[in-house]
Amino acid sequence: MKTSVVIIGGGPSGLLLSQLLHLAGVESVVLERRTRDYVLSRIRAGVLERGTQDLLDRAEVGARMHGEGLVHDGFNLSFGDALHRIDLAELADRAVMVYGQTEVTKDLYDARDRMGGTILHAVEDVTPYAMTTSSPFVTYRSAGAEHRLNCDFIIGCDGFHGVSRQSIPAEQRREFSRAYPFGWLGVLSETKPAAEELIYAVHEDGFALCSMRNAALSRYYIQCAADEDVAAWSDDRFWSALKRRLPREVAEAMETGPSVKKSIAPLRSYVCETMRYGRLLLAGDAAHIVPPTGAKGLNLAASDIHYLSEALIAWYRDRRADLIDGYEARALARVWKCERFSWWMTSLLHQFPDTSPFDARMRQAELDYLVSSRAAMTALAENYVGLPY
């Protein structure tokens, strides 16, 4: 079997790349180790930068996003029992869109189905070969049979734990990482959101975030120990902890209810600067992880796909190799800026176990300066709505 591009990973990154390539007349096959139902059951963040919105429009999958997504012109910082609004539209002349990653994935699946895209689910033992040659290929098992798929390029969109990055020899991988000494306990509830816009809360008990998926589905997070047991958190305990970290007027008006889903996620920063190894190219979580504080995970993957789709389309349309050769440098320039912003937001808004009284005063001074300086708020807004591609 032969195709132009093999995409390992059928999440939003892999599906988006497949869709963009299809619209440009480039053939691809997507290999996903999970079932479609499993992929669509994953609950992920849903704050989309303007660049991500534009890319989804370019992929012809933006109609439902524009019809059902929530346009947010700002968000709130909470500390000292007060809300401080960051006006994104005024400061950065752009807004963000609240539209869940699951919904983006549904839209991409629908588009690939309509256009006859080849997506193979529940495949096992996916292994790339001959990546440094002009004739790479991938082997995999499906329904008990072994298969070989020849191609021109292999694209790794299979996440942090996927096979793609691990297929690059360890001595060839340039890796940088930081693990944070806490996690996020997240709850999804069929309740009215606590506010019309997101609230990022700083509190001596730890960070909290009030987000939403739609007008009747809320997503809340609180900082917790990295090794916390989710079973120890009843709904009542969660709501009590969350309310303590919010301004009183917000907490008192908040609607609570049974959790639909509850989970704990660790926080880490990670970059593999080796995003290209011959004809294998990495994108999204396969190459980098950001803590979710700055809402950059899906958006950073989208910018990778922007650069990668441009490079592959130029290769097939014009036999240009320069964008393939320059992909790693173009992507990493934006990756590190987004890593910086996510690290800064995480450092500013969370309680660290080794925080000294001096550190606490410095953080308070930075928060006070941030909400009193237009220049500081503008820098925050420009990064939050998304740096240009």
CATH of the domain at 321: 3.50.50.60
pLDDT of residue 42: 81
> By the 8 A CB rule, do 72 and 98 touch?
yes
Where helices occur in 180-296 by DSSP H, the ranges are 235-244, 248-253
Residue of 109, 220, 327, 384 marked catalytic: 384
**Do 137 and 184 sit in the same domain of this protein?**
no
Q: Tell me the pLDDT tens digit for each residue of 59-117.
A: 999 999 999 999 999 999 999 999 999 999 999 999 999 999 999 999 999 999 999 99
Same domain, 258 and 305: no
203, 296, 306, 350: which is the annotated catalytic residue? 296
| Nearest Cα to Cα of residue 189 among 129, 260, 120 | 260
Give the strands of the sheet with 259-272, arranged side by side: 82-87, 74-79, 199-201, 208-214, 217-224, 175-189, 259-272, 288-289
Overall domain count for the chain: 2
Characterize the bridge pairing of strands 5-8 and 28-31: parallel
53 within domain boundaries: yes
Whether 99 is a known active-site residue: answer: no
Phi, psi (rounded to 5 degrees) for 48:
-105, 125
Q: Indicate if 384 belongs to the active site.
A: yes
Alpha carbons within 13 A on the beta-carbon side of 315 = 21
**181 in catalytic set:** no
pLDDT tens figures, 8-46: 999 999 999 999 999 999 999 999 999 999 999 887 768
Let me know whether 17 and 68 are in one domain: yes
Domain that holds residue 33: 5-72+95-177+269-346
Which DSSP symbol is given to 321?
-
| CB 305 within 8 Å of CB 56 | no
Q: Which residue has the tokens 């910082």?
A: 77
Which residues pair with residue 122 across a beta bridge? none
d(CA 200, CA 216): 20
State the catalytic residue, choosing from 12, 292, 306, 307: 292
Question: Quick one: 342 and 295 in the same domain?
Answer: yes
Catalytic, out of 99, 140, 180, 200: 200
The low-confidence residues of the chain, meaning pLDDT below 70, are 45
Residues 300 and 194 in one domain: no
User: Which pTM value belongs to this model?
Assistant: 0.96
Please state the separation of Cα 99 from the chain's center in Å: 12
